[in-house]
């Protein structure tokens, strides 16, 4: 009976073979292209944007790093630009400041959004308002928000020191002391950028099945144990991805240092990207700046490769 009912039906493999055969004919190819024309147009537009604004500048930067412009003429100089930046006495201190900012920023900027997402996720009636409130700093123009903090952190009349005086606590020099300038930049950067990460974490938290929390609660797990044994494992992929993205972003910090401290005091906030800016726009050494950008590209590329290797190895285990 089953054979009789299915005898007249075309086999699935035969249908796929017939469709492939039709698509190889000129008429079938035209129909396939017309059917997917809109999707191809979107893809081609995205590829052109990436090629024009991302890939071409990267290739151009690599080429410029091996060149030097003298009297309007471009000459190949090999690794001279790289030797110049490695011989610069500010090169290694700039890398030290960059790694210092990245380490402190990850401590605050990685955990603060996740904890904020955990708190917001517990609310049931005001999540929309809280999401807007958390994301509001991201919608502000970066320079405007940073200048606001520059006013708050003024050692004389700043709001933060006035609050500390009101609480009878010692005031801080904030941006004018080498001991506190980097931490001040981290606080500003965390406030300005944590909104996006918080929304990503919140979306990941809301995708966790509630049955897992109910089962953990029935087993007697408290809040911290539920977070450690349910929330963290369920969001591990998002957490690891955001970790990599935040490392790449924080190592390219520039706006906060440029607007708030100008690389000071005493060079304590001069990062690699700020040094690159000085080479290009203050010293008119665009080829040397390109060489420094290539070094930064190689460092970030090596970190990304190690991260992907560790992720792949962890997935296989």
> What does the pLDDT look like over 110-134, one tens digit per residue?
889 999 999 888 887 778 888 888 9
Question: Minimum mean pLDDT among 113-127, 159-173, 241-255: which range?
Answer: 113-127
pLDDT on residue 25: 58
In angstroms, the CA 97 to CA 301 distance is 19
Token pair in block for residue 125: 């009636």
pLDDT on residue 5: 42
User: 266 phi and psi, to 5 degrees?
Assistant: 55, 35
Confidence band (pLDDT; 50, 70, 90) for 13?
low
pLDDT on residue 315: 63
Question: Minimum mean pLDDT among 63-72, 112-121, 253-262: which range?
Answer: 63-72
289 upstream amide cis, omega within 30 of 0: no
CA atoms within 13 A on the CB side of 86: 7
Q: Tell whether the model's pLDDT for residue 23 goes beyond 60.
A: no
Q: Tell whether the model's pLDDT for residue 158 goes beyond 90.
A: no
Give the number of other CB atoms < 10 A from CB of residue 208.
15
- Give the position of tokens 């800016």: 277
Quote the pTM value.
0.81
pLDDT on residue 92: 95
Per residue in 182-232, pLDDT (tens digit) is 999 999 999 988 999 999 999 999 888 888 888 888 888 888 888 888 888
More confident of the two residues 3 and 135: 135
**Across 240-265, average pLDDT:** 90
- Give the position of tokens 């401590």: 107
**Across 26-46, average pLDDT:** 74
More confident of the two residues 294 and 23: 294
Parallel, antiparallel, or unpaired for β 73-76 and 67-70?
Answer: antiparallel
136 three-class SS: helix
pLDDT on residue 296: 94
**Residue 212 per-residue DSSP state:** H
Q: Residue 209 region, left (φ>0) first, then alpha (ψ -120 to 50), else beta?
A: beta
Contact 246, 197 (CB under 8 A): yes
**Across 164-186, average pLDDT:** 91
pLDDT on residue 276: 94
Per residue in 285-306, pLDDT (tens digit) is 999 999 999 999 999 999 989 9
More confident of the two residues 109 and 162: 162
**Residue 252 per-residue DSSP state:** T
Token pair in block for residue 268: 């304590």
Q: What is the mean pLDDT of the chain?
A: 85
pLDDT on residue 8: 46
The secondary structure of 100-127 as a DSSP string is: HHHHHHHHHHHHHHHHHHHHHHH-SSSH
């Amino acid at each position: 009976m089953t054979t009789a009912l299915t005898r007249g039906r075309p086999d699935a493999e035969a249908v796929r073979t017939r469709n492939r055969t039709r698509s190889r004919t000129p008429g079938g190819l035209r129909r396939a292209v017309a059917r997917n024309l809109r999707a191809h147009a979107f893809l081609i537009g995205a590829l052109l944007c990436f090629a024009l604004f991302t890939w071409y500048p990267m290739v151009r930067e690599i080429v410029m790093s091996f060149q030097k412009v003298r009297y309007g003429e471009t000459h190949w100089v090999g690794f001279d630009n790289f030797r110049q930046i490695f011989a610069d006495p500010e090169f290694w201190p700039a890398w030290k400041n960059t790694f210092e900012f990245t380490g402190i920023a990850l401590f605050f900027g990685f955990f603060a959004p996740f904890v904020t997402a955990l708190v917001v996720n517990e609310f049931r009636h005001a999540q929309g308002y809280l999401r807007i409130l958390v994301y509001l700093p991201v919608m502000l123009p970066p320079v405007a928000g940073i200048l606001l903090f520059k006013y708050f952190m003024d050692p004389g009349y700043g709001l933060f020191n006035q609050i500390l005086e009101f609480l009878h606590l010692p005031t801080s020099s904030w941006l004018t002391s080498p001991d506190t300038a980097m931490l001040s930049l981290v606080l500003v950067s965390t406030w300005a950028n944590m909104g996006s990460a918080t929304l990503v974490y919140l979306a990941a938290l809301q995708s966790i099945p509630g049955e897992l929390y109910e089962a953990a609660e029935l087993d007697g797990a408290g809040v911290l144990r539920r977070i450690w044994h349910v929330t963290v494992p369920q969001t591990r992929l998002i957490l690891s991805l955001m970790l990599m993205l935040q490392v790449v972003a924080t190592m390219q910090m520039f706006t906060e240092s440029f607007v708030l401290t100008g690389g000071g005091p005493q060079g304590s906030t001069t990062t690699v990207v700020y040094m690159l800016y000085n080479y290009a726009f203050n010293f008119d050494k665009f080829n040397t700046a390109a060489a420094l950008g290539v070094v930064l590209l190689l460092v970030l590329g090596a970190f990304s490769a190690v991260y992907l290797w560790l992720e792949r190895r962890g997935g296989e285990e």
